[in-house]
Amino acid sequence: MAEVHHFTHGWLNPGFAYTVSVIGALIGLYCTGRARAVSEGAARVKWLTIATVAIGGAGVWLAHFTAMLGFDVVDSPVRYSPALTAASLALSLGAVGVGLFLVGYREPSTAQILRAGGVTGAGLLGMHFTGMAAVDVAGEITYGPKLVALSALIAVVAATAALWFSTTVDGRLPIAGASALMAAGVCGMHYTAMAAVGVELDRTGLSVVEGVRPLGLIVAVALVSAVTMTVMATVALQAMTTEEFAGDGPATLTKPEPVGLAAAGFSATPTATARARATATEPIRLDMPITPGLRHREARAPY
């Protein structure tokens, strides 16, 4: 069995992976909160889609890939298949998107959250092992079944908790705390699954290791991630600013409500029509006593 390292660059990889996961979860949970606040179907779809990219893309997949860069095998090169790496990203987005839309498009029940958590957790586990299938070494990668089962349990529990957070959490401090817990679940699932990895090297020297060097993927992933997270953060901040200052527009003057006689339909200033009515033979009904014979006097409200 070959010697396998998961922290080739020390705590840089897990620390950066956790940070990226927290940022993705923060943006995603804010967007799910916005989705709950709107009633229009199109607006809710927009916010849930942004949340899917934030959580599934940055919070899960980018954290997974960042942590994977610390994986190394002694006496063997490590290469990555771009196609399978992209497939793992698609699985992450799909799993998170299905879960968020199942619980976020309409008011979910507890049973729906549990079912969605199972589906999303299974999808995230598939994302991880698809990402591992993208790794090529001079030998065969094996897995310990007990740790794989434990990582599957962590994935389902973490996914269910994340979906529950997406339907309930609101406010800056609760969102920050939930994001920290979600990131811990993502990293816990990843490193538990990685602890199950073993490598049997091909000592014949006939194995051909194919794929892209880690550095080649780092540049592409970093550029795409930077652009994506900048766009998501900009959209979220613009929405936050719009919501915060929505009531600060120019003041609007409104006509005051009528009171007293005006509310009953009488004007304080006598008009030609009022004087004509006062001189008519038809009696006038008023809600105040009127002295007979004073038809031309102005009716005033008693105050």
Distance CA 211, CA 249 (A): 57
Distance CA 24, CA 54 (A): 5
Whether pTM exceeds 0.85: no
- Six-digit token pair at 45? 């779809």
Could you report the per-residue pLDDT of 159-201, keeping only the tens digit for each? 999 999 999 888 889 999 999 999 999 999 999 999 999 999 9
> What does DSSP assign to residue 59?
I
Could you report the per-residue pLDDT of 59-116, keeping only the tens digit for each? 999 999 999 989 999 989 999 999 999 999 999 999 999 999 999 888 888 999 999 9
Distances (CA, A) of 20 to 80, 159, 193, 251, 281: 21, 17, 19, 43, 88
Query: Per-residue DSSP letters for 216-248?
Result: HHHHHHHHHHHHHHHHHHHHHHHHHHHHHTTT-
